[in-house]
Structure 1
Amino acid sequence: MVMFLKGMGPLLLFFILGLWLVSPLTQENDREKRFLTQHFDHHPTGRDDNYCETIMRERDLTNPCKDMNTFIHADYPKIKAVCEDNAGDPYQDERFRISKSQFQVTNCRHHGGSTRPPCRYRATADSRYIVIACEHGLPVHLEKTITAKKFT
């Protein structure tokens, strides 16, 4: 066994180093995938209560019923571009970016007493600026949406 490990030393070290380098990227990709699951829908089918109830269930956001969720309706590259200077500006601190233009969004708000499925949602379609957190140029968190940017 020791002879086997001795012969595998450089290869084993290379493998462990590779895992160590890839691990943060995997975590970022997981956060980006979660962001996309929770907030990205390029081609909505309607933007009414039925849309909210269907997409919230399809995206597994109903166990328990999520109180409120916002879906952004745009090409992914346009959302991702908010993480860069050409389409986004710093917002409050270095963690957040605000879009330079508005996005079509649908807010799905839970209504009803129980937090257990079946969940009932009310839809509000709007056009709003998005405030997102970015890590290494990738959107990972939707902080909020706002109707008007305040310039000071």
Structure 2
Amino acid sequence: MHFKGAGPVLFALLAMVFIVGTYAADYKTFLRQHYDNPKSNVGKRYCDTMMKRRGMTKPMCKAVNSFVHASKKQIIAVCGKDGKPYGNGLRRSKKQFSVTTCKHQGGSTRPPCKYKENKSNRYIVVRCSRGKPVHLDKTQI
């Protein structure tokens, strides 16, 4: 019975660990799915290789994914001075970034996955949490 007063404190501590862990995972997930700087030199089939390498082909092929070829510092800055509000808590970059978008070519959504690559300079739209990007909403030319 002497732990009666510790229950609420323990609950608050566990909740904080969960929230911090979720945030860290979201930023790490963002980096895994969307950050590639400098652009990896993986040969002619960049999208096929990178989508597989980053875990976006199992159990099904992800339909579309974009990789941003800029420093972490530049991407994080979109959450601050280098971005502007874009509605629904999103931020749009003030400058364009080099971006490669991989689109699944159709057919089976099961591996092996085949992607078409489109590289261009685009604005990025991100959702931020605690000053860091946690979701790439879209890219705009």
2:116 maps to 122
Matched, 1:111 2:111: no
1:150 maps to none
Q: State the secondary structure of the residue aligned to 2:16.
A: helix
2:67 maps to 71
**Percent identity of equivalent pairs:** 41
CA distance in 1, matches of 2:95, 2:106: 34
Residue 16 of structure 1, CA deviation: 3.8
**Which entry has the higher C-alpha Rg, 1 or 2?**
1
1:98 maps to 92
C-alpha change, 1:121 and 1:48, in structure 2 (3 Å) is farther
**What whole-Å deviation, never above 9, does each CA across 1:14-62 have from its counterpart, x for those lacking one?**
5443222222121111111111111111122248751111110011101
| Residue 134 of structure 1, aligned match among 107, 128, 140 | 128
CA distance in 1, matches of 2:57, 2:110: 7
For 1:37-48, what aligned pairs fall within 5 Å after superposition?
A: 37-46=32-41
User: In proportion to residue count, which structure has more helix?
Assistant: 1
2:15 maps to 20
TM-score (norm: length of structure 1): 0.82
How many aligned positions are there? 140
AA aligned to 1:130 is I
Residue 103 of structure 1, CA deviation: 0.5
CA distance in 1, matches of 2:79, 2:105: 33
| Residue 50 of structure 2, aligned match among 50, 55, 74 | 55
CA distance in 1, matches of 2:89, 2:62: 24
Residue 88 of structure 1, CA deviation: 0.4
C-alpha change, 1:48 and 1:142, in structure 2 (3 Å) is farther
Q: What's the C-alpha RMSD, in Å, of the aligned pairs?
A: 1.9
CA distance in 1, matches of 2:16, 2:107: 46
